[in-house]
Amino acid sequence: MSILTMARALTDREHVYDFMTPKVNPLLTVGHGYLLYLEGLTVSFDGFKAINDLNLYIKEGELRCIIGPNGAGKTTMMDIITGKTRPDSGSAWFGQNIDLLQLDEPQIAQAGIGRKFQKPTVFESQSVFHNLELAMAGAKTVFSTLMAKLSASDIDYIDYVLKQIGLEAQRFLPAGALSHGQKQWLEIGMLLMQNPKLLLVDEPVAGMTHQEMDRTAELLTSLAGERTIILVEHDMDFVRSIAKDVTVLHQGSVLAEGTMAEVQSNRKVVEVYLGEEAC
């Protein structure tokens, strides 16, 4: 789902959903501290199991890195979480009472899940400030957002996000004039304007300079705790710099989990994915 589509879906006054209605998942309690609970997920495309009995548990406030070879199921997993793909079987719960498999994409976005794709999608002709304004959560359509006068609290929140993403000096610069890395940070900022609980971030450092990669690591680390982040990334140097907990996917299921050191020393992981990277 694009930022524009999400903004329209989340700001339409006619789209009001009651997330207290779904039944409570009996396997989850507040004491467990889990924000996302995936169990037994399976999905097949033309007989190929893209996801095969996948179990994944993400605690509130953690930054979880997901790695694995191409075709391991990383994108399909995120598609299931955001409602783009429906599994053949299994469970997907967000918090204690939100059954993700009962919701569509706009409802899931409104429930507090934001997704950033690999290629940044920003409004290049609009300023950095206006990009954030367009993405702001609230009871306004995109058109009325462009025409409305911002409140002092709105401006304060945009300023807060600008500081978080490190683009204060570029606030009035057209988004199209930003570097690739800055566009990635702006799109993260646009997601933050929706105040999500869970951020799904797909390969954010592809094409970045080393300096931009370092800044991205700082940004995501600073957001963890305040937000829960699932990061899919192929750049192992970046993963090493940021990861505390790593999940390795292979053939649609979890092959290994643990710290980066534990994953790197796992013989199966070395065989199917890391290879010389683990040395």
Q: Token digits for 218? A: 């700082």
Residue 143 has what pLDDT?
Answer: 57
Q: Token digits for 43? A: 């999905």
Instruction: Give domain limits for the chain.
Output: 3-278
Beta bridge partners of 201: 116, 231
Residue with tokens 């192992």: 236
Assess whether pLDDT exceeds 60 at residue 163. yes
- Reported as half-sphere exposure (CB side, CA atoms, 13 A), residue 231 has a value of 33
Residue of 54, 58, 61 whose CA lies nearest to 85: 54
Supply φ then ψ for residue 28, to 5 degrees: -115, 140
Assess whether pLDDT exceeds 50 at residue 55. yes
Q: In the chain, what percentage of residues exceed pLDDT 70?
A: 82
Residue 137 has what pLDDT?
Answer: 65
Residue with tokens 């065989």: 271
Q: Which residues contact 85 (CB under 8 A, 6 or more apart)?
A: 43, 76, 79
Assess whether pLDDT exceeds 60 at residue 19. no
Q: How many CB atoms neighbour CB 89 within 10 A?
A: 11
Assess whether pLDDT exceeds 60 at residue 29. no
Residue 254 has what pLDDT?
Answer: 97
Residue 224 has what pLDDT?
Answer: 95
Residue 118's pLDDT band (boundaries 50, 70, 90)? confident
* Mean of pLDDT over the chain: 85
The Cα 261–Cα 69 span in angstroms is 18
pTM assigned to the model: 0.84
Please say whether the beta carbons of 44 and 221 come within 8 A.
Answer: no
Residue 140 has what pLDDT?
Answer: 53
**For 91-112, what is each residue's pLDDT tens digit?**
999 998 899 999 999 999 999 9
- Superfamily in which the 3-278 domain is placed by CATH: P-loop containing nucleotide triphosphate hydrolases (3.40.50.300)
**For 234-271, what is each residue's pLDDT tens digit?**
899 999 999 999 999 999 999 999 999 999 899 999 98
**For 179-217, what is each residue's pLDDT tens digit?**
999 999 999 999 999 999 999 999 999 889 999 999 999
If you average pLDDT over residues 138-156, what whole number do you get?
Answer: 69
